[in-house]
């Protein structure tokens, strides 16, 4: 859908199409490996996939979840809708940041910029997509005729609100948990 919006508003560059295809392949490969691991326990998974994915970790995680839950269409629909809502709300935050810096922009300009930037950050090797997300988002906003200064300011404000600000309570909670005395081991 984001590619269609970009095509409608502006021409699609080859790098956008390449990143989208790569993301699509990864987005299909990961669930396929999870399903294979849950169904066959890793024995029948090709060696190339075993080298790329942490199969024992997946098997351990899946062993704690009922197969009925993993393949339940209602659960899959709910997860898909919730993830879609997260994307829409994050794109709305980018749109609000554009408006906050004084740039008139349409939501349909912020949405594909955010979605494609998220895809590039996901398939990239940089932790948290630092730099890759921001660069992609700014370049896409620029291709949609948003001035560089507004695109950069809005993108950095977005990342501050959606990535860095939520880390503060997380770090506080992690520090609190790590400072606790470990429970004494009972002798049995």
pLDDT (tens, 9 = 90+) of the chain, 188 residues, equals 666 666 666 666 777 777 777 777 877 777 777 666 666 665 666 677 667 666 666 666 666 777 777 778 899 899 999 999 999 999 999 999 999 999 999 999 999 899 989 988 988 888 988 999 999 999 999 988 999 999 999 999 999 999 999 999 999 999 998 888 666 555 54
Separation CA 170–CA 177 (nearest Å)? 11
Residue 46 CB neighbours (<10 A): 10
Give CA 152 to chain center in angstroms. 20
| Tokens found for residue 80 | 């898909």
Query: Are the beta carbons of 100 and 127 closer than 8 angstroms?
Result: no
| Tokens found for residue 40 | 């066959």
| Tokens found for residue 107 | 């939501």
Separation CA 35–CA 44 (nearest Å)? 12
**pTM summary value:** 0.70
């Amino acid at each position: 859908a984001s590619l269609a919006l970009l095509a409608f508003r502006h021409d699609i560059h080859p790098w956008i199409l390449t990143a989208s295809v790569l993301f699509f392949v990864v987005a299909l490969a990961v669930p396929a490996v999870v399903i294979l691991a849950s169904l066959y326990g890793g024995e029948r998974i090709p060696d190339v996939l075993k080298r790329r994915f942490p199969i024992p970790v997946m098997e351990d995680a899946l062993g704690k979840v009922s197969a009925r839950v993993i393949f339940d269409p209602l659960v899959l629909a709910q997860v898909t809708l919730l993830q879609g809502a997260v994307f829409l709300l994050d794109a709305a935050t980018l749109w609000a940041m554009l408006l906050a810096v004084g740039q008139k922009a349409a939501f349909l300009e912020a949405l594909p910029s955010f979605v494609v930037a998220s895809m590039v950050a996901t398939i990239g090797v940089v932790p948290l997509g630092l730099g890759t997300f921001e660069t992609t988002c700014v370049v896409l906003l620029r291709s949609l005729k948003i001035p560089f200064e507004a695109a950069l300011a809005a993108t950095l404000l977005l990342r501050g609100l959606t990535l860095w600000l939520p880390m503060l309570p997380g770090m506080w909670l992690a520090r609190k948990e790590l400072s606790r005395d470990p429970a004494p081991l009972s002798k049995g």
